[in-house]
Structure 1
Amino acid sequence: MTTVDPGTPTWMRTHNDRTAFRLLLEHGPLSRSKLGKLSGLSKPTAGAMIQRLEKVGLIEAMGEVAATRGPNATVYGVRRDVMTGVAISILADTIEAVLTDPVDSDRPVVVLPVAGVERSPEHDVSAAIDAACSAAGVARSSVSVVAVGVQAAVDVASDELSFTDTLPGWPQSGARRRIEEATGMTVILDNDVNLAAIAERALGVTRDAESFAYFWIGEGLGVGIDIDGDIQRGTSGSAGEIGYLEVPRSAAALDPDAADFTDLLGGPAVAALVGSPGRPLREALDRVAADEPAWTSVADRVALALAPIVALLDPASIVLGGPTGVAGGDGLSALVQHRIDGVQYPRSDVHGARPHIAVRASTTGSESILLGARQVLVAHIRARLEAAIVA
């Protein structure tokens, strides 16, 4: 990356241009006068910043606004096509994808079935890129980076995946490398629940939370751990893989056959609890109302699964997400809140601190993983573009 010496005219121009670029991303298209006011710089300086950013192809004129006096003012905005990426969510039965750009424009989300399809990291991701570009009417050549959410623990440093039982055709080692070699693009690979937690922090109910645990309840289970806006992934990327944790003895009262928390609260268990044993989880959840008495049994199991999370992390907030958390909504979160507030310790002589933890339902919907991948992509694209600005 090109560097410039602080205090020199070149450094000052670079600093000003990067400031202008950030303001245009934050506020949308701006006139020279408005950019000057927001940046605290003069109109001539703002005009020079616009001229330089337009010259290097980062911004373009996007129309005019009526001026209080004199001719209408031209407004300038960041070009959507200057750099694009594709956000991808690899699910058990489908692949979701959407094109993303520096201003995070709304683009159509595509859903690709995977049944009977050849599976591999490069095939899955390439197919998703092609579909997202086609839906958005954008050439694949404009894409330079992809962010991919997978149902697995991701060790970024070693490029290794673990807990990959829902990723047929994906190897334990080298998945990111294979995608990069096949596509020629930068690849950001992350755990699906971590991405859902990123979406919740940016767009959901935890925007102002000091810390929170995002509990994904779906076919499988996982926890995204956010502390002051940073996702805690652990040494090998396996932090939060609670589904494979052995259940405590007290779980026998709820399900004597459950060996781990996935047995207790995963897709088949919840489908049975809501009166649709043997049905796919989403289909079962569609058939049950939010006030169904079965949610009481689900809440008992959620509270039990949350006990180690509360004990180890003591988060300010817990978000219930994934298909079951979203379907249960505020009703399920209220039931779980009641159980968390009334926790009793097995030892009668122990008087522990009462947890003051807010339990809330996720508000990012069924595409939370994709939303998180979009957030990661937008931040990456903006950082790369800004780093390239050298006056």
Structure 2
Amino acid sequence: MTTARTATPSTARAINDRLALDLLLRQGPLTATELRTLTGLSRPTVADLLERLQHGGLVAIVGERGEERRGPNARLYGLRADRAHLAGVDVRAGGVTFTVADLTGRTVAGATLPIDPEDPAGPPPGYADRVLQALLAAAREAGAGDLHTVTVGAPGLVHPATGQLRPTSLPPHWHTDLVAVLRAGLTGEVILENEVNLAGIAEHRLGAVTDRDTFVLLWLGHGTGAAVMLDGRLRRGASGGTGEIGFLPVPGTGGLPGSLGCDGGFHTLAGSRAVCELARAHGVPVPDGAEDAAAAEAAVLAARAAGTAGEAFLDGLADRVALGATAVCVLLDPGCLVLGGETGRAGGRALADRVAARLAALSPLPTEVRPSATGGGAVLSGAVLTASDAVCRDLFGGP
């Protein structure tokens, strides 16, 4: 049971309101009796806050719940889901996917606008405006009106103070142009976050590490990256570069990375191109010329399905992943590592167990390795969660 804190009358009301709203957000509609039980507040206090929240347009009576007692059914109070709408946007080399959600986080609309990731010219002219118009149209069709907050997940360094995106060598520069168009064309707040950080938030709140406040998500996709969660806080670093593990110097690459490019770093061993090349070397089928994240994912799935015939490839992949993972673990001692991204997700428990065994041999620090549990929508889920948190801070008050 959560108990409200003692404070001045006005502060106490704000604390109690936020407590009730958070419960309604997490658990869905509740009766007044259930709110009293969960908060420890008195009957008059709960009645007062419910009246206040209804008057403020945040809470409404959404139904009734029968109880084993005489008299009328108990009223159910729920958040006004249409009070505000938000969106999450996932920006990748292969295009943009977005989700529009209501105040409760329920998806009400969404779309994907693909592009050719192998086209050196990038997306066609006007692509950023197309994304903006598609997002606005989806919101209108869902009856959302103006979007209160939009969170965009993109590759690159997002400066924690300015919120500006500085691409590394790997992402195409059209990402920065897209963010600028969204910020200019949307009336609500646009939050920019590194896409791997958003995936880490999703794993913490919904996925593989809901039971831990300290862990590292190792992202293995088109590129490589890491989200670092320590004591329940996402760590970004002085310039937003925490987790840029693609630049980590590791043995076996034949060179060293530089400030302008991560070739020669961990990316050269574990990015999608390297995974596809390793698969071909072990006889695992990969389409000719394919080296994107989807091809790497397909190769790992094919190796797992092949049984003993695919074990040599999985062993070799685990050897490579463990080099980057060991460096992270001996520096941060997170106790838990999650393998995400297309390659990590496809590897599942088979890859996670192999990496764990190699970590145990390379590092004196005990580290559990888990596969991602958020599916292919980790970045979008993290974006929606981040936008929802911002909306709740604005509407509910508090931190």
Report the TM-score, using the length of structure 2 for normalisation: 0.83
Match of 1:317 in 2: 336
The 5 Å alignment of 1:279-294 reads 279=290, 280-287=292-299, 288-290=302-304, 291=307, 292-293=310-311, 294=313
> What fraction of aligned residue pairs are identical, expressed as a percent?
33
Instruction: Give unpaired runs (5+ residues) of structure 2.
Output: 1-5, 117-122, 256-262, 281-285
**SS of the residue 1:296 aligns to:** helix
1:349 maps to which residue? none
Task: Report the AA paired with residue 198 of structure 1.
Answer: I
- Deviation by residue 1:350-386 (Cα, 9 ceiling, x = unmatched): xxx7221111111111111111112211211111111
Who is 1:366 aligned against? 376
Q: Give the match for residue 56 of structure 2.
A: 56
Give the 5 Å matches for 1:191-340. 191-248=194-251, 250-251=252-253, 259-275=264-280, 276=286, 278-279=289-290, 280-287=292-299, 288-290=302-304, 291=307, 292-293=310-311, 294-340=313-359
Instruction: Report the AA paired with residue 188 of structure 1.
Output: I
Q: State the aligned residue count.
A: 364
Note the C-alpha offset of 1:212: 1.4
SS at match of 2:78: strand
Q: C-alpha deviations, 1:295-332, integer Å up to 9, x for none? A: 11111111122232123212211111100001111101
Residue 168 of structure 2 corresponds to: 163
- Relative to structure 1, the CA distance from residue 13 to residue 334 in structure 2 (aligned partners, 3 Å threshold; closer, same or farther) is closer
Separation in 2, partners of 1:312, 1:119? 44
TM-score (norm 1): 0.85
What's the CA shift string for 1:92-137, capped at 9, x where partnerless?
11211111233222445422213453367x63652452354267x2
Q: Cα distance 1:374–1:65, how it changes in 2: closer, same or farther (>3 A)?
A: same
Are the aligned partners of 1:110 and 1:131 in contact in 2 as well (CA < 8 Å)?
no
**Superposition pairs of residues 68-87 of structure 1, within 5 angstroms:** 68-87=69-88
1:214 partner letter: L
Cα pair 1:129 1:140 within 8 Å, conserved: no
Is the aligned partner of 1:148 residue 2:149?
no
Question: 2 CA distance for matches of 1:309 and 1:41?
Answer: 45
Write the letter of the residue equivalent to 1:82. R
- Measured after TM superposition, the shift of residue 83 of structure 1 is 1.1
**What residue number does 2:392 align with?**
382
Inter-CA distance 8–218: structure 2 relative to 1 (3 Å threshold): closer
CA separation in 1, counterparts of 2:7 and 2:209? 40
Q: Which runs of 5 or more residues in structure 1 are unaligned?
A: 1-5, 344-352
- Whether 1:117 aligns to 2:124 is yes
Structure 1 residues 69, 93: CA separation in 2 closer, same or farther (over 3 Å shift)? Answer: same
Q: 1:41 to 1:310 in 2, by over 3 A?
A: closer
Report SS of the residue matched to 1:30. Answer: coil
C-alpha spacing 1:356/1:128, structure 2 compared with 1 (3 Å): farther
Give me the whole-angstrom Cα distance separating, in 2, the residues matched to 1:117 and 1:138.
30
Kept in 2: contact 1:133–1:140 (CA 8 A): yes
- Indicate yes or no: 2:46 matched with 1:46: yes
Shift of 1:178: 5.2
Q: What per-residue deviation string (whole Å, max 9, x for no partner) do you get for residues 179-237 of structure 1? A: 33321220110001111111111112222224211110111110111101111111110
